[in-house]
Structure 1
Amino acid sequence: MSSSCGPQHAPVGDVGVALMMIDSRLRGIHEGKAGTDPEQQVLIDQLTASLGPEGADDVLDGVCTLVLMFMTWLRKAHEEQNKDVIEYVVPNLVATMRMMPRSVRPETIPTMAGLVIAAGTGLSPSLWRKQYGYWTEEEMTPLEVTAFLLAEHINRITDDPDFATRLISEALASSEEDC
């Protein structure tokens, strides 16, 4: 039975900008920087400021698409090991977010966990969230953190610091070839 929250009903959003933001954070961490490279952050800030409300919504949908794609990959990887992705990914994600109280307010953690569970069960994170109203300002950083942590988890599983970014880049490239 098809759900109204199925990914086929969801906007894809601007996955390219969303991926650039997550990749920038990943590179910053791997280069030993606590945050984003200041020059890179200026570029990201300029880009997001130029987007306008529709563009910002597209980036939000793009980040949700990343969460769905990352969880789809993780679900398949866990199923190969006869493991449940929700059981192995969500507690780790929640525990990590709890250690980040300046970036992820405690009251946003249940929403992010629900978002990841929705994606892990094949639902669109974007449509799942929109059932409960529009995104709040307090959820913006936790959403980015969620996508970042999922990408980093994939990179650790594969022992390849660029795997998650490459996974999405290759999917984007193949979808463009199909058009």
Structure 2
Amino acid sequence: MVDARIKQIHESGTADEGAAESRELTRLFAASAGADGLQDLLDGTCTLIYMFMQWLHRTHAQGDKDVIEYVVPHLVATLRMMPRSVPPQTIPTMAALVIAAGTGLSPNGWRSQYGDWTPEEMQALEVTAFLIAEHINRIADDHGYAVRLVADALDQAETDTD
């Protein structure tokens, strides 16, 4: 979903074009997945955020920079500019989730102590994963870099289990 959204924005040049269709496809997927599938989707999105933040942590550390200092303020500022997609009350949760991931804590474990996700938080979580992936792509100067990071990690995990 993150990859499709990144491609859609780069092809159309705007986040609004195709947004309704994307939301409808996400809604249909969630409805067809059932409770277990939806939980898997949430866990997977948190895992992506963790992977992305660990990559960003290593990248920023090479330049003696703090990942939290360089990623979180930009993320929060961008989320604040998206009040139709990201309700303001969800922004502190997304910031805390990203901070947890950036400091090596599991976002899934961090979030579990606060109860179930709300519908507003799920949309904010999707936007957060997208924004972090896009941040990685900008650093790498490559629109598909974040997705390749995930694909490479999956390939490596498959190789390790064989």
TM-score, length-scaled by structure 1: 0.83
Structure with a larger share of its residues in helix: 2
Q: How does 1:114-133 map to 2 (within 5 A)?
A: 114-133=96-115
Unpaired segments ≥5 residues, structure 2: none
Q: Counterparts of 1:74 and 1:157 in 2: how far apart (Å)?
A: 9
Partner of 1:28: 8
In 1, Cα distance between equivalents of 2:5 and 2:144: 12
Following superposition, the deviation at residue 42 of structure 1 comes to 5.8
Change (3 A) 1:115 1:29: same
Is 1:25–1:36's contact at 8 Å kept on the other side of the alignment?
A: no
Structure 1 residue 118, shift from structure 2 partner: 0.1
Match of 2:135 in 1: 153
Select which of 85, 90, 94 maps to 1:108: 90
Deviations 1:4-24 (Å, cap 9, x if unpaired)?
Answer: xxxxxxxxxxxxxxxxx1111
Identity %: 60
Moved more, 64-73 or 166-175: 166-175
CA distance in 1 between partners of 2:29 and 2:129 (Å): 19
Deviation, 1:38, is 7.2
Equivalent residue for 1:95, pick from 71, 77, 87: 77
Shift of 1:173: 1.3
Distance in 1 between residues matched to 2:26 and 2:157, nearest whole Å: 25
Q: How does 1:35-74 map to 2 (within 5 A)?
A: 35-36=17-18, 44-74=26-56
Q: Deviation of residue 108 (structure 1)?
A: 0.5
Q: 1:142 to 1:50 in 2, by over 3 A?
A: same
The amino acid across from 1:122 in the alignment is G
**Residue 86 (structure 1) aligns with:** 68
Point out where structure 1 has 5 or more consecutive residues left out of the alignment: 1-20
CA gap 1:177/1:81 in 2 versus in 1, 3 angstroms: same
Inter-partner Cα distance in structure 1 for 2:80 and 2:69: 17
SS of alignment partner, residue 160 of structure 1: coil
Give the TM-score normalised by structure 2: 0.92
Residue correspondences, number: 159
C-alpha contact 1:104 1:142 (8 A) present in aligned 2: yes
| AA matched with 2:68 | I
Q: CA RMSD in A?
A: 1.6
- Distance in 2 (CA, whole Å) between partners of 1:117 and 1:41 is 27
Q: Aligned in 2, Cα 1:127/1:43: closer, same or farther, shift over 3 Å? A: same
1:24/1:36 contact within 8 Å kept:
no
Q: 1:100 to 1:170 in 2, by over 3 A?
A: same
Counterpart amino acid of 2:6? L
Separation in 1 of the partners of 2:25 and 2:87?
Answer: 26
